[in-house]
Chain A
């Protein structure tokens, strides 16, 4: 069973607030990813990392930033939340086998 954890599971926050979504994995995986998914829609890659101090933007510009200071931790930060950021955010990691294991997601609502 995959050990990848996201907190919080649900978050309702006001416009303009700064928020950080947490993602941690205990599998020692080098590669980690953040995806954004609206209800009933496809997953869009927003950030990924291939290791410590390595971060890249994905296809979707989400006005967010990430950091990878430790292998197990890959937080996502929104400097100023907007209603358009309302979505589900999914974190994933992959090891040598390339299959990705996902967390349960954070459902963000910006009011």
Chain B
């Protein structure tokens, strides 16, 4: 049973075309939800932590939001350098991070 589901699997955008990535989760007792960026052949790079519904975090063109059942990563006016795989992960009490399968974003100029 999937605990973390990300959609879409792949997303192609034109430069400047804003969009959102989704991460839905079914874990109980959520202790935190995390967004990572991963470039090919490298380890995931930490972006955001969200702890409670209603919380929002921003960094440059990225904005992460959290509800009781899902999180969104909004990308405003993306650039080609934003192309990467974006991973969502959750942690419950006493467990390790549980990752989704990721969304591969391609931004063309």
Is there an interface contact between B101 and A100, defined as CB atoms closer than 8 Å?
no
Give 1 or 0 for each of B89-103: 1 = CB within 8 Å of chain A CB: 101000011111110
Is there an interface contact between A43 and B99, defined as CB atoms closer than 8 Å?
yes
- Name the distance in Å between A33's Cβ and chain B's nearest Cβ: 6
Is there an interface contact between B87 and A98, defined as CB atoms closer than 8 Å?
no
Q: Majority SS of interface residues in chain A?
A: strand
- Name the distance in Å between A62's Cβ and chain B's nearest Cβ: 15
B32 interface hit (Cβ, 8 Å): yes
CA–CA, A42 to B101, complex, Å?
5
- Chain B contact-residue range equals 20 to 34
CA–CA, A89 to B49, complex, Å?
24
Within 8 A of B (CB), among A50-76: 58
CA–CA, A31 to B97, complex, Å?
11
Is there an interface contact between A100 and B42, defined as CB atoms closer than 8 Å?
no
- Name the distance in Å between B6's Cβ and chain A's nearest Cβ: 9
Chain A residues, Cβ within 8 Å of B41: 88, 105, 107
Is there an interface contact between B49 and A99, defined as CB atoms closer than 8 Å?
yes
CA–CA, A43 to B31, complex, Å?
20
Chain A residue with the shortest CB-CB distance to B31: A98
Chain B residues, Cβ within 8 Å of A94: 97
Nearest 9 A/B pairs, CB to CB: A102-B43, A42-B101, A43-B99, A48-B96, A98-B32, A99-B49, A105-B43, A102-B44, A104-B43
Which residues of A are in contact with B by a Cβ distance under 8 Å? 2, 6, 31, 33, 35, 40-43, 45, 48, 58, 88, 90, 92, 94, 97-105, 107
Which residues of B are in contact with A by a Cβ distance under 8 Å? 31-32, 34, 36, 41-46, 49, 87, 89, 91, 96-102, 104
